[in-house]
Amino acid sequence: MMYKQASYDEPLLREIKSGTSYRFPSVESETAEIPKKLLRRELNLPSVAEYDVARHFTRLAEMNYSVDNGIYPLGSCTMKYNPKFADEIAANPLFRDVHPMRPESTIQGNLRIMYELQEYLREISDMDAVSLQPLAGAHGEFTGMRIVRKYFEDRGENRTEVIIPDSAHGTNPASATMAGFDVVEVPSNEKGMVDLDALDAAMSDRTAALMITNPNTLGIFEENIVEIARKIHEAGGLLYYDGANLNAILGITSPGLMGFDIVHFNLHKTFATPHGGGGPGSGPVGVKKFLSGYLPSPVVRFDGRRYSLVDSGNESIGAMATHYGSFLVVLRAWAYIRYMGSNGLRHASERAVLNTNYLEHLISGIYRPSHPAPKKHEMVVSATSAGKRASDIAKFILDNGMHPPTIYFPLIVHEALMIEVTESASKSDLDRYADVLLKAAKEDEESIKQRPSNTHRRRLDEVRAARQLVLRW
- 354-384 residue pLDDT tens: 999 999 999 999 999 999 899 999 999 999 9
Residue 449 has pLDDT above 70, yes or no: yes
Helix axes 327-363, 84-91, angle to 10 degrees: 170
User: What is the model's pLDDT at position 35?
Assistant: 73
Sequence-distant (≥ 6) Cβ neighbours of residue 271 within 8 angstroms: 265, 332, 333, 336, 337
In this predicted structure, what is the pLDDT of residue 458? 83
Adjacent-strand bridge partners of 125: none
Asked whether residue 43 carries a pLDDT value surpassing 90, the answer given is: no
Q: Which of 40-49, 237-246, 451-460 has the lowest mean pLDDT?
A: 40-49
Q: Which residues touch 423 (CB under 8 Å, ≥6 apart)?
A: 80, 247, 347, 348, 349, 351, 352, 355
What confidence tens digit (pLDDT) does each residue in 55-68 have?
999 999 888 888 88
Q: Is residue 283 predicted with pLDDT exceeding 50?
A: yes
Q: Which residues is 256 bridged to in the sheet?
A: none
DSSP summary character for residue 81:
-
For 455, counting Cβ atoms within 10 Å of its Cβ (0-12 exposed, 13-18 middle, 19+ buried), the class is: middle
User: pTM for the full model?
Assistant: 0.90
What per-residue string of b and e applies to 115-132 under the rule 16 or more CB within 10 Å gives b?
A: bbbbebbbebbbbebbbb
Complete DSSP assignment for 353-385: HHHHHHHHHHHTTTS-BSS-S--SS-EEEEGGG
State the pairing for strand pair 285-287/307-310: unpaired
Q: CA-to-CA distance for 408 and 213, rounded, in angstroms?
A: 19
- Higher pLDDT residue, 279 or 73? 73
Q: Compute the distance between CA of residue 408 and CA of residue 411 in angstroms, rounded to an integer.
A: 6
Residues 123-155 pLDDT 10s: 999 999 999 999 999 999 999 999 999 999 999
| pLDDT at residue number 7 | 80
Output the average pLDDT for the chain: 91
* pLDDT over threshold 60, residue 30: no
* CATH numbers and ranges of domains, the chain: 13-62 (no CATH), 86-339 (3.40.640.10), 341-466 (3.90.1150.10)
Please tell me the distance from the alpha carbon of residue 418 to that of residue 76, in angstroms, as a whole number: 8
Is the pLDDT confidence value at 463 over 90? no
CB 317 within 8 A of CB 338: no
Percent of the chain clearing pLDDT 90 (strictly above): 77
Give the CA distances from residue 151 to residues 100, 267, 314, 452, 468, in Å, rounded to whole numbers and listed in that order: 30, 26, 12, 52, 49
In whole angstroms, give the CA distance from residue 282 to residue 137.
7
Distance (Å, whole) CA 454 – CA 459: 10
Alpha carbon 366 to chain centroid, angstroms: 30
- Between strands 406-407 and 285-287, the pairing is unpaired
31 confidence band (pLDDT: 50, 70, 90):
very low
The residue length of the chain stands at: 473
* DSSP single-letter state for residue 141: H
Question: What b-and-e string marks burial along 206-232, b requiring 16 or more CB atoms within 10 Å of the CB?
Answer: bbbbbbbbbbbbbbbbbebbeebbebb
pLDDT of residue 206: 98
Distance, CA of 105 to CA of 186 (rounded, Å): 51
| pLDDT at residue 217, rounded to an integer | 95
Distance CA(93)–CA(100), nearest Å, equals: 14
